[in-house]
Amino acid sequence: MNFKIAMANTPIGKHFLYRREPFYTFEKRIRKDTYRISKKALVWADQCVSNLSEHETEDIYLNSNDPIVVNGYLLREKVKSQFRNKKQDSKLKILVHMPSQDSSPAGYSIFKNMIEAGKYLGYEINELNW
């Protein structure tokens, strides 16, 4: 019997193998104060979104000297118009159980993005908060 497979089925083996995975190495390299300042980073991100209108306007994109910026903006607007409210006639109603930002920042972010995408398509989506 293969020793590695046999060890993988034991609690000690699972822990032993986990320590060799690339994610464990990545996780160990995260600065300790990252978790401490994560709430400040979320506040900063919210402030950036609220100031978005002064930095990202249609005029700034269309008057750019970079043709990639202009064409990228036009393509983005074309795609957005094709998908906006595409599913508004759907009878599907969705209720999403949202984790709080404090308990799961990543889960909150993922579900919030999914909700916004679904609403953009025209689905009726409600949040059930913790």
Binned at pLDDT 50, 70 and 90, residue 14 comes out as: low
Label residues 65-98 b or e (16+ Cβ within 10 Å = b).
eeeeeeeebeeeeeeeeeeeeeeeeeeeeeeeeb
Helix (H, G, I), strand (E, B) or coil at 37: coil
pTM: 0.55
> Who has greater pLDDT, 127 or 130?
127
Name which of 37, 73, 39 is nearest 58 in CA terms.
73
Task: Name the average pLDDT for the chain.
Answer: 84
pLDDT one-digit tens code per residue, 51-95:
887 778 899 899 999 999 999 999 999 999 999 999 999 999 999
pLDDT: which is higher, 81 or 105: 81
Cα separation, 18 vs 126, in Å, equals 38
Mean pLDDT of 24-39: 79
